[in-house]
Amino acid sequence: MTIRIGPLETRNRVFLAPMSGVTDEALRSVAHDCGAGLVVSEMVASEELVRQRQDMCRRARGSDKVKPFVIQLAGREAKWMAEGARVAQDLGADVIDINMGCPSRQVTGGLSGSALMRDLDHATSLVSATVSAARVPVTLKMRLGWDDTNLNAPTLARRAEDAGVQLVTVHGRTRCQFYTGKADWRAIKAVKSAITIPLIANGDCATPADAKAMLDASGADGVMIGRGAYGRPWWPGVIAQALGENGFREPTVLAELRIVLEHQARTIELYSDALGNKTFRKHAGWYAQRLFERGYISETALQAFRGKALSNSNNSQVASEIQALYDQAGSLHRDAAA
Ligand SMILES: Cc1cc2nc3c(=O)[nH]c(=O)nc-3n(C[C@H](O)[C@H](O)[C@H](O)COP(=O)(O)O)c2cc1C
């Protein structure tokens, strides 16, 4: 199944969540190549984007190969949201997503992110300013509300739809929960009843079975995967395939190695040799952890890889360490299968 965002149509209904410090252009392009229904940029601070701060410009980078290109904007002033939307469009964005879900004190302290859910009039004014400035569809990502006594996502979603938003994503936690407890998929259903535009459910969805249960419980049109895609950017595509959609077949160990090395190369290209090396370390650690969790490498091999590869600033040597790790994984996996 596909999802319509205004005139656009997604490949399937399993999306990769925006994650600052994780879903940069390199990771998004890999996830896209591996079947994700939609990928969204890391949160981009609208004022800083307009002022062309280098890191924000990099966050807002996209390519013609990854379509639709979605830039997520955050901000607390209508003026900057509107200006940011114009800049995002000039950068080629096909969709602008507004962040009203980030719980970070740094962001909510500046009264943006999920803090906007405490003042729906102000939140709606930001949405209206963004929609008025944009020629492309605008979407909105939020939480269930600020806290358990203010579960106002249905009202905000309704008001956003009235203001012209074309799709809403809801993370089934309140701001005050941060990432604790379990996402409440059932609570997302109240949003579905409040709107006619597509709804995407998010929070703690990490397997095909989770995705089915989440779709049932929330009544949502699609799901969004965040941390469940750490160390497996093909996972949204694989879940889509498991739901019977146009997705991606789970890669073999050898195919996985090719994807990982491609991800490393794209990361270095995006940042530079040194910053690319530093940025890729967490991904390399996650890839290795996933191999270990599936029983493809031993704990000793995992620890040895961490010790050698994750402090090595020579990217070719890191690539060789990755190759060696996957060689071990391949032989252990073959032995187990034999
Ligand atoms: C490291 C990290 C960074 C995140 N950055 C963003 C962000 O930039 N924009 C956003 O809307 N949500 C952000 N989120 C929230 C995720 O998009 C998602 O809503 C949340 O992780 C719940 O989904 P999950 O349980 O599938 O991870 C971030 C989450 C994590 C873990």
pLDDT in tens, 38-54: 999 999 999 999 999 99
Residue located nearest, by CA, to atom 21 of ligand 1:
226
Ligand 1 lined by 204 (C-beta under 6 Å): yes
Q: What are the start-end ranges of the H helices in 243-272?
A: 253-270
By percentage, how much of the chain surpasses pLDDT 90? 90
At residue 114, the pLDDT reads 80
Confidence of residue 265 (pLDDT cuts 50, 70, 90): very high
Identify the weakest region by mean pLDDT among 140-144, 178-182, 207-211, 279-283: 178-182
Answer yes or no: is the C-beta of 100 below 6 A from any ligand 1 atom. Answer: no
Binding site membership of 103 for ligand 1 (Cβ less than 6 Å): no
Across the range 170-185, mean pLDDT stands at 94
pLDDT of residue 102: 81
pTM reported for the whole predicted model:
0.96
Banded model confidence at residue 9, pLDDT cuts 50, 70, 90: very high
What pLDDT shows up at residue 134? 97
Active site residue 57: no
Angstrom distances, CA of residue 86 to CA of 176, 194, 228, 236: 32, 29, 33, 30
- Cα–Cα distance between 101 and 16 in angstroms, integer? 15
pLDDT computed for residue 297 by the predictor: 96
- Cβ–ligand 1 distance for 83 under 6 Å, the answer no
Please give the pLDDT value at position 176: 86
Average pLDDT of the chain, as a whole number: 95
Is the C-beta atom of 97 inside 6 A of ligand 1? no
Give the integer Cα–Cα distance in Å for 167 and 150: 22
Q: Is 35 left (phi over 0), alpha (psi -120 to 50) or beta?
A: left
Testing ligand 1's pocket by substitution, the residue of 14, 15, 16, 19 carrying the most ligand atoms inside 8 A of its CB is: 19
Nearest to 23 by CA among 72, 92, 84, 89: 72
CB 226 within 8 A of CB 17: yes
pLDDT for res 115: 87
Ligand 1 centroid–CA 307 distance in Å is 28
Residue ID of nearest Cα to ligand 1 atom 2: 19
- Rounded distance from Cα 202 to ligand 1 centre (Å): 9
pLDDT tens readout for residues 123-141: 999 999 999 999 999 999 9
Instruction: Calculate what percentage of the chain has a pLDDT beyond 70.
Output: 96
